[in-house]
Amino acid sequence: TQVPNITLNTGAEMPQLGFGVFQVPADEVVEPVLTAIEAGYRSIDTAAVYGNEEGVGKAIAEAPVAREDLFVTTKLWNDRQGYDSTLRAFDESLTKLGLDYVDLYLIHWPSPGQDLFVETWKAFEKLHADGRAKAIGVSNFQIPHLRRLSEETEVVPAVNQIELHPNLPQSNLRAFHSEHGIATEAWSPLGQGKGLLDDATLGSLAEKYGKSPAQIALRWSIQQGNVVIPKSVTPSRVRENIEVFDFELADDDVAEINSLETGVRVGPDPDVFG
Ligand code: NAD
């Protein structure tokens, strides 16, 4: 399967669907990443705090695909925020990945209690200027955090990676992003698989389209223009989750999925976390 790209505000292309590796131990991550690449995934989403950058790097080195044809994202953990410590943390991530650049580097959480994300972003701007992070972005930023960056720094984030699934469609943030040229990347696009995939609406749409509830949830997000990064270590599911570009949800079915909004998060509240 060939995944379409979106164009970031840097001009770079980013696959609209990638492979997430949250909660996959370093020594178990190589196989799933290779399975994903074999299935057609070209984007991999890791983070320093996932503890598996070395394993991801090993998979990239072993993969039958050239480095420049992959889109690699990693993230700065909260305890490394601040100008100098960000530069050091980035070096450590690159070393673990065995790469000389990443395609996207993200501030993992705004961690507003620390009040360091502006300084941190200035270090990100340097990494971007040096070409070691081809694009820079943020994750879990709320509108006031994004406004503060735009008031106090130069580079507009290419991406904001946020929790987004049918229970949490994030309409306000998405509207802000499109006004400012920031791409919306959806984490936990399956709601971590828990209750969401058992939902009756997704179940009946799955039957109607001859797809799985997971594929319906991913397609719904893709049709909004979001980047999605589903995670699985089960080979059949890894392959299933990328088969979402051969059908289209009708408008009234999209509307029905929109009605699943509850506002309930599976992850922490970015205004207080970190
Ligand atoms: P997800 O929504 O991708 O759900 C993953 C879980 O859903 C799997 O563990 C499995 O239990 C189930 N699942 C996967 N495919 C399925 C299928 N086809 N059918 C049935 N069940 C299926 O959740 P996630 O891992 O939290 O999020 C995806 C990625 O987003 C992560 O791996 C990570 O890369 C990223 N993420 C980022 C942040 C952040 O703060 N920036 C936070 C969480 C996750």
Query: pLDDT, tens digit, for every residue of 39-64?
Result: 999 999 999 999 999 999 999 999 99
> 253 C-alpha vs ligand 1 centroid, how far in Å?
23
Percent of the chain whose predicted confidence (pLDDT) is above 70: 100
What mean pLDDT is predicted for residues 134-163? 98
Q: Which pair of tokens denotes residue 93?
A: 């991530």
Residue ID of nearest Cα to ligand 1 atom 26: 188
Residue ID of nearest Cα to ligand 1 atom 27: 188
**Which pLDDT value is given to residue 1?**
86
187 Cβ neighbours under 8 A, 6+ residues apart: 20, 22, 45, 139, 161, 162, 163, 164, 229, 267
Q: What is the pTM of this model?
A: 0.99
What mean pLDDT is predicted for residues 89-110? 98
CATH topology of domain 5-258: TIM Barrel (3.20.20)
**Cβ neighbour number for residue 145 with a 10 Å cutoff:** 21
> 65 C-alpha vs ligand 1 centroid, how far in Å?
24
Determine whether 50 is an active site residue.
yes
Q: What is the mean pLDDT of the chain?
A: 98
Residue 172 has pLDDT above 90, yes or no: yes
Residue-wise pLDDT for 182-224, tens only, equals 999 999 999 999 899 999 999 999 999 999 999 999 999 999 9
Task: Say if the ipTM goes beyond 0.90.
Answer: yes
What mean pLDDT is predicted for residues 60-77? 98
Tell me the pLDDT band of 263, cut-offs 50, 70 and 90. very high
Q: Which residue has the tokens 């505000």?
A: 9
Residue 245 has pLDDT above 90, yes or no: yes
